[in-house]
Every structure is written in C-alpha cells, then in structure tokens.
A and B are shown apart, each in its own frame.
Chain A
Amino acid sequence: MTAFGKLFRTTAFRLTLVYLLLFALFAASLLGYFAWNTRRLITDQITAGVSEEVGLLTGVFDRRGLRGLVFAIENRALRPGSNLYLVTTPAGLAVAGNVGSLQPGVMATTGWTETAYRRLDEQDKTDHRALVNVTALSNGFRLLIGRDLEERHRIFSVVASAAQWSLLIVVVLGLGGGVFVARRVLHRIDAMTGTTQRIMAGDLSGRLPVGRSGDELDRLAENLNAMLERIEALMNGLKEVSDNIAHDLKTPLTRLRNRAEEALAKSSNESEYRTALERTIEESDGLISTFNALLMIARAESGQARDNMTDFDAAEVAQGIHELYEPLAEDNGLTLSVQAQPAPLHGNRELISQALANLVENAIKYGQPKPAPQPLGADAAVAAETDKTILIEARREGDCAILAVVDHGGGIPEADRKHAIERFVRLEASRTLPGSGLGLSLASAVATLHGGDLALSDAHPGLRATLSIPARTGEGLAASTPDVQQNGA
C-alpha cells in the first residue's frame, strides 16, 4: 500500500485527479444540457401537436355539436399510436375517447397537466404518463387531448445511460493515464534520488541519468550534473590545497620544532635563548605569510573575492608598484622602470596590485644577470648594461589589459615554466632566498579570478611574466581607446 501511497503523493497523479474531476464535471454538464434541451424540444412538439388538435376538435364541436365531436374522436382514437382523447359530460361521465382511467381531478382543471393514465384498449395494468390538455366546451362538457410521454422518457434514459458510461470511461482512462504518467515520472525521480543519495554518501563522481527526450526533467538533470561537475572540481581543488598544506607546511613546522628543541637542550645563557627565540618568531612569521598566501589563492580560485571589484586603470597599478619597489631594485643593483599606457579594468585592485608586486619581487630576486660569459665582441659591455633593467609594462592589447614584468636574469627553462606556476614550486637553488614559493601561483589565481591568465615566456635572456586580464568594456573605454592606439603607433 505504501507504493500506492507514494504514487498518490506524486504531483503528476494529483494533477491527473484534479483534471479528471474537471473533465467529469464538464462531460456531465454537457450531457445534462443536451438531455434537458432534448426534453424541452419533445415537450414543445407535443404541446404544438396537441394544441393544433384542440383547435381542430373544438371547431368540430362548434360546427357539428357533441355528436360530430364524438364521431370525430371515435375515428381518431382508433388509429394506432394515436393521441389520447376523452370527452366528459358536466357530471364527469365519459362520452367518447380512448382513456380508461386518469388521476382524479385532472378533468376539473383546464389547461396543461402531466398525469398518469391507462388506455381503454390496454391489457396490462401499468400506468403510463402523459401530457394532456383539458378544454371546457359549452354546456359544461370537457374535452381532453393528450400524448403519451413514453418517447420523451426513452430518449432521456438513453442520454442518461450514455452519461453514465462516458463518465465511467473518463474516470477509468483518466486514472489509468494518471497512474501511468505518475509512475513514469516517479521512476525517473527515484533514479535521481538514488544518485543524489549516493553523492551525499560521498561518491562525488555520480551523475544523474539524462534521457534522450530533452524534456524538462532531462534539462534539470543536465543542469544538476553541471553543478555536480563544478562542485567536484572545487572539492578536488580543496583537497589539493589541503594536501599541499599538509605536505609543505609540515617541513617548516618540523624545522621550527627542531630549533626550539635544540635551543632548550643546548643553550646555556640568555643571549643564546634570545637568538633561538628570535629565529623561532621569524620562522613562524614566514609560516603565517605562507598560510595567508594559500588562503588568498584558495579564495581567488573559488571566486570568493568577487566582491570589492572596482573600475581602475592598470597603468596606475603599474606606476604604484614601480614607485614602491624602485628603491629596493636599486639596492639590489637593478634598475626598475615602467612603461604605462591607459588600460581600464574592472577588478579587485588590491589583488591585482599584489599579483604585480609578486611578479616584481620575483624579478628582483631572480633577475640578476647571470655572470655567464656574454657573446664575445664589442657589444658585450652594452649587453651587460641593459641586462640590469627590470621593466614593468601596462597597456591595452585587443580586449585585454596587459600587465607584464620583464627581467633579464636567468629566466626559467621552457620545460619548467608551467611547473613554476604551481603551488610551492621554487625552482632549484632558490631555496636560500626568502619567500614562500607562492608568488606566481597567487598571481596566476588572481588572473584566473578576473577571467584572464598568467603567461611566462622568454625575454632573451630572462623571463617575461604577463598578466592578461579582460579589459573593461562600456563607457569610458571609447575615450581611452584612441589614446592607446596613438601611443602604440
């Protein structure tokens, strides 16, 4: 019974029931109207026929008196399937006609009456019904003319039984159809529910079955599948992040612990303790900044940082970062320069500034020209001179705002470039320099958040890191575009 209960609770089945009720009412009222109209038509025919005969026979009475009337009625009454006729004296005695009995009092009132009657010539004792007209003649005589209602009754009963059958058919077919549709829907929903339950139990790879009909349930299933796809990707990303955290934070944590342990075991005076504690704090600050960078990347990748998007110019960001890092580059024996042309953007200014800052910090860290032998010749000195610059570029290129940092250091071999953007990857001997190894990953995540990307390429020699971010479209752009073209030309 629970199966039926489940079926009954489906929307499809309930809708079917509602429609069934509506159709049944509709069919019933249609048939009712038909029956009522048919009945009225028959009644009209009877009254018209009888009225005509009343006129005819009262004319006979007027012209030929009672004898003539009786003669005419006896004549008509003998015809098979004829009307009912009765002529009575003022005392109520029957003079002529084919009526055997009537309901009492019928002859007393003139006009139309419906009454039970029996014919004179009939053998059976059953009453029939008739519609009769009683007319008062002169001298107190009365004339009754009427017609049997059997025909009307028969037609009415035919209609009534048709109504019964059609209602029955509507109900049976409707219920059957409802059950069929509901079961079909229920079957598909059950399949979906099963899949979702498996997914909830932890199997994120499950997908909802999609039929071939392309109906609303299939579309729903397709959309849910796309959603599951996205959730699975996010979950995998999360898992990757936590794996990376576990893997790469454990090393510095272990180092931190070892140092504290060593200090506890070996330090003998206050200054040694102090040094050990200071190094511990330094190490934990490094851990905190790594952690912050990881969180920032995770947020950027999951699209959470979409708030706080504003309109700004990439050129201003480039100039700001140039201004901040120029002295640092100089201290490192490098020249930081900037070439900024208007490139309007819509984005998170703070994040884009940070991404560019990371690229510049990388360039300062790794952008020292290699002491490797330069090509022989007079140009060697000139080449070594230009090698010392780091260039920050901002410009508009097609639909993108470009922020690039070009250094002339060792660069990154082509095979390693993709790898370099991954989290925690610090290439080769760079582990002696400070940093979490997350700079490029963060820059890349910020670019992705804005619908752009980070590309690393060869600067012959050195590295060119390019952030391409879709430029702002709409108003304000028109004004800046010619400017860009002018500068570019």
Chain B
Amino acid sequence: MSDSSNQMRLLIIEDDRESADYLVKAFREVGHVAELASDGEEGLSLADGGDYDVLVIDRMLPKRDGLSVIGSLRDKGNRTPALILSALGQVDDRIKGLRAGGDDYLPKPYAFAELLARVEVLSRRHGGPAEETVYRVGDLELDRLSHRVMRGAEELTLQPREFRLLEYLMKHAGQVVTRTMLLENVWDYHFDPQTNVIDVHISRLRSKIDKGFERPLLHTIRGAGYMIRDGVR
C-alpha cells in the first residue's frame, strides 16, 4: 500500500490524546507522515511554518477554536487543505465549518477508512494538476465537455446521474471514494441513508462500464467504498 510518491505530510490538531495517537499511528501504518498538535495555538504555529499536504483539525480545541485556526491561516494566505472533525455533526455546523475556510467536514464518530479516503482526495486536490477535460482509466475514457464515455472502441450510454457518478470516481481514480463522499458530491445530500442506495447506483454503473469487458475497472474496497483503477497495482 505504501508508495513513497503518494506519501502525505499531515498535521493533526486534536486535543484528545487517545484519538490523536490513534490517528497518528493509523496514518503512519498506511505510509503517511503525521505530526501532532494538541491545542489551537500550537496547531496554528505548526501549520503556519510547516509544509503540510492536509490539515486535520478538531472543531473544539483548547486555547483556540478549530475554525479560528483555519480562519487565521486563510487570512495569511495559507491554502493548505483542511478537514474539520467535529462532534457537532449537523448540517448547519458543516456549513459553518466550510464557510470558515475548511475544505471538508467529517462528523465524529467516523470510520478511519472514511477519514483516510477524504484526506487523500483533499491532498490530490491540493497538489494535483488542473482539471482535465478528458479523464482516462485503462481503456475507459470520459469526455467532460461532450459528455461522451468510451470503453475501448465502444461508446457507452449513461444517464446524466451515472455520468456524474463516473466523473467523480474517475476524477479521483486510484483513490478510495466512500459512499458518503458520493452522496455528498454527486447528489449533494448530507444525511446517511438507512439503505444501500448508493451500492445500487454503483452496480448499475458497473453493469454498463464493466459488463462484458475482460478487465473490471470499478472495484469495491471492502469496509471503505469504491475505487476506479486500471488492473492490479
């Protein structure tokens, strides 16, 4: 799993010692470098001085609130992507967090797989190339301007929502995308459905892009979500 070119430098600002240590350990296990700040002031000075790919910031911190840390960083022109962790999981709080300059918002309690997937997507966004007009994975090609999808020489017919779903997956090709991320980014809903509604959409998409082809591109990552990638790593 650990690929040095994909390695990220993370700063975790979290005051609860146990969850902070767990996060640092878990990120290191998947090959990332994680540093830790235990209050808002320390986090701000570290984030300001260090060169991080992503900041993971707890909403409620001693000395300085998480939102205010992000606010001061943005005021200084620091655009490092920031993910807010919060025990306040409501829609309103999420909007507040994003307004304050956060790039993503994850309510506690969260699954580590969810956090990892979101952090990796954020990091890609930070350092990645400008938005391309054509996404390619293996022999699958999606043209964002003409809305055409080709698998090899064959043109595929997708519903508009299937197109957007595939577009999001391909934009983050090679990265795990969770069900919640899909619901948020493709459908713009922020509740968690009690049913496997996303899986059904994925299986429909899969039947269109993978069925009848030798090499499947859309993979289910157990316990985390989905990933589109070409063959084996």
Contacts and interface: CB of A to CB of B under 8 A. Distances in A.
A354 B91 CA distance: 11
Given A289-B194, A354-B191, A364-B195, A308 B201 contact: no
Nearest to B204: A327
B90 A325 contact: no
Interface string B197-233: 1001100100000000000000000010000000000
B89 interface: yes
A81 to B, nearest CB: 98
A162 interface: no
B30 interface: no
Which of A295, A328, A364, A434 counts the most chain B CB atoms within 10 A?
A328
The dominant DSSP class at the A interface is helix
Contact of B191 (A295, A357, A434, A435): A357
Task: Bin the interface of chain B by size.
Answer: 20 to 34
Given A288-B109, A295-B89, A327-B204, A436 B189 contact: no
B193 A357 contact: yes
A328 B195 contact: yes
The dominant DSSP class at the B interface is loop
A436 B194 contact: yes
Interface string A210-227: 000000000000000000
A235 interface: no
A292 B196 contact: no
Which of B107, B187, B194 counts the most chain A CB atoms within 10 A?
B194
A328 B200 CA distance: 6
Contact of A305 (B90, B111, B197): B90
Interface residues of A, number: 33
Given A305-B90, A354-B189, A361 B204 contact: no
Contacts of A168: none
Nearest to B110: A288
Given A299-B90, A308-B91, A350-B91, A325 B192 contact: no
A115 interface: no
A307 B93 CA distance: 10
Contacts of B196: 328
Interface in A298-327: 299, 305, 307-308, 320, 323-325, 327
A307 B197 CA distance: 28
25 contacts: A278-B223, A281-B111, A281-B223, A289-B192, A289-B194, A295-B90, A296-B90, A323-B161, A324-B187, A324-B201, A325-B197, A327-B200, A328-B195, A348-B91, A350-B91, A351-B91, A357-B193, A358-B194, A361-B193, A361-B194, A361-B195, A364-B195, A435-B194, A436-B194, A439-B194
